[in-house]
Amino acid sequence: MKKILLSVLMLSVVFSCSKSEDKQKKMIEEVMAVHDEVMPKMDEIMTLKGQLDSISKVSSDSSKAKELYVALDSADVKMMEWMEKYNPDQVKGKSEEEVVKYYEGEKNKIVKVKELTNASIEEAKAFLKK
């Protein structure tokens, strides 16, 4: 009887650890999916910044071009800052609650970077089509 009870207890511990690891893996994948969606847009930001920089030197719309340049630059900087600070190793040995809180926070941060990136690109493209 003790052997059966011990086996069941060990299986439930292994299963709960496995379930927790699966949840953490899923959260990491969600965060990285947003990152992987935004990262390729950094090249587009650089291209648009170059175009806006050129326009700002010769156009009567130079103040708007500069404003859009700053917005694009801000999106680029925010992405670099997020990547620099993102460190999944810092949750090692933490409770499941702390791990969930960390990844939810990181997902919120990268989603904000995504929104800023998309908005600044859209505004710059609209301006450049004029």
Q: Where are the domains of the chain?
A: 21-129
pLDDT at 15: 47
Q: State residue 127's pLDDT score.
A: 94
Whole-number pLDDT of residue 14:
47
How many other CB atoms are found less than 10 A from the CB of residue 92?
Answer: 7
pTM: 0.81
Residue numbers in the chain where pLDDT is lower than 50: 5-9, 11, 13-15
What is the distance between the alpha carbons of residues 2 and 34, in angstroms, rounded to a whole number?
48
Category of 93 on φ-ψ map: left (φ > 0), alpha (ψ -120 to 50) or beta: left
